[in-house]
Homo-oligomer: A and B are copies of this chain.
Amino acid sequence: MELEFLGTGAGTPGKFRNVTSVALKLLDETNDVWLFDCGEATQHQILRTNLRPRKIDKIFITHLHGDHIFGLPGFLSSRSFQGGDGKLTIYGPRGIKDFVLTSLKISDTRLGYKIDFHELDNDGEILNNDKFIVRAEKLDHRILSFGYRIEEKAHQGELQVEKLKEMNIPSGPVYGRLKRGETVTLQDGRIINGKDFVGKPQSGRIVTILGDTRRIDSIESLAKDADVLVHESTFGKNEGKLARNYYHSTNMQAASVAKKVHVKELLLTHISARYTAKMAKELERDAKQVFANTKVVKDFDVINIPMGK
């Protein structure tokens, strides 16, 4: 599980940061990739990575501002042109479907795959499969903006095969039943409880990715105990008032929420072009005073998210 940042800038593209998009690579988990936001030229950024558009089967849009969605029509077209034929699901605030369908219709684009739209109006669980639960909650931006909490389900404990072998329990279908925790009567009459032979389940990882937002309580429920929190940081230490006026956050607000809800790692993004590389380092340094494990990400940064201990 990795995050690959495709665009880490705010508002308009600059020479050094493109507008927002980040890929959650689940190649080991489900062999696909989820995209969060798709600012203009996201497909151009993808050309400079190993990501393959056809592997992207879910796109989550945080909000409908242009710097988060204007790359979508082009990405969708190129995914088709490059032979992508698997279904794609798009989650996002109501309106995203109209934008995509209007763009495709007017440009006479026919995709070689189906799109499922899940338009969001409210907080709620939006996905629940055998590996992941995704929850969306409203933030506080000028327009409807969502944060997404991606919870990986616990990894089942391993069957302790060595221990079974020592007890001369022959392998076969019975191992499967034991692994599921069933109680089994062997042919020799012994009664074995699977639960005694299965290791502890390992809890899954939590990744929280926020849209543009002011400081608001829903960030806390979204980010609680997250392995990684991706938080906007459009403004710096002494710009709390500006941040509030423009419906954005400061680096310090992000750091304080990360500390409060026991996040493991904080990634600051949506960095204004006003900030030079040196100033972006200052954003990071200031935030670290409050929450040590903070990083201001750059385009093409790859962040590994290991299983917890």
Please list 14 pairs of residues, one from A and one from B, whose beta carbons are closer than 8 Å in the complex, sorted by A's number: A12-B77, A12-B81, A13-B74, A14-B47, A40-B40, A40-B41, A44-B44, A66-B74, A67-B77, A70-B107, A99-B102, A99-B103, A99-B106, A102-B102
Question: Does A3 reach chain B (CB closer than 8 Å)?
Answer: no
| Smallest CB gap from A97: residue in B | B106
In the complex, the chain B residue whose C-beta lies closest to that of A100 is B106
Smallest Cβ distance from A154 to chain B, in angstroms? Answer: 39
Q: Classify chain A's interface size.
A: 35 or more
Copies of this protein chain in the complex:
2
Q: Cβ of A47: which chain B residues have Cβ within 8 Å of it?
A: 13-15
User: Which residues in A have some Cβ–Cβ distance to B below 8 Å?
Assistant: 11-15, 18, 40-41, 43-44, 47-48, 64-67, 69-71, 73-74, 77-78, 81-82, 95-96, 98-99, 102-103, 106-109, 142-143
Q: Is the beta-carbon distance between A70 and B66 smaller than 8 angstroms?
A: no
How long is the Cα–Cα vector from A106 to B142 in the complex, in angstroms? 13
Residue of B nearest to A143 (CB): B108
Which chain B residue lies CB-closest to A107? B66
A69–B15 alpha-carbon span in the complex (Å): 22
Chain B residues within 8 Å of A48, by CB: 15
Cα of A41 to Cα of B15 in the assembled complex, Å: 12
Complex interface: chain B residues within 8 A of A15 (CB): 47-48
Bound together, the chains give a CA A86 to CA B61 distance in angstroms of 32
Partner of A106, one of B40, B77, B95: B95
Would you give the shortest CB distance from A293 to chain B, in whole angstroms?
33
A65-B107, A65-B108 known; 18 new pairs, CB 8 Å cut-off, are A12-B77, A12-B82, A13-B43, A14-B47, A40-B71, A40-B73, A41-B41, A66-B73, A66-B107, A66-B109, A67-B77, A69-B106, A70-B77, A70-B103, A96-B106, A98-B102, A99-B102, A108-B143
Of chain B, the residue at the smallest CB distance from A142 is B108
* B107 with A64: CB separation less than 8 A: yes
Residues in B with CB closer than 8 Å to A82 are: 12
Residues of B within 8 A of A41 (CB): 40-41, 44
A109 to B70, CA, bound (A): 12
Nearest neighbor of A69 in chain B, beta-carbon distance: B107
Min CB gap A35→B, angstroms: 16
For the complex formed, measure the closest distance between the CB of A215 and the CB atoms of chain B, giving whole angstroms.
21
Q: How far is the CB of A62 from chain B (nearest CB, A)?
A: 13
Distance in angstroms between the alpha carbons of A95 and B102 in the assembled complex: 10
Tell me, in angstroms, the Cα distance from A98 to B102 when the chains sit together. Answer: 8
Complex Cα spacing A70 to B73, Å: 7
Question: CA A11 – CA B78 in complex, angstroms?
Answer: 8
Distance in angstroms from A19 CB to nearest chain B CB is: 8
A145 to chain B, nearest CB (A): 11
Q: B residues within 8 A CB of A106? A: 64, 69, 95-96, 98-99
Across chains A and B, which 7 residue pairs bring their CB atoms closest together, nearest first? A41-B41, A40-B74, A66-B107, A99-B106, A102-B102, A12-B78, A70-B74
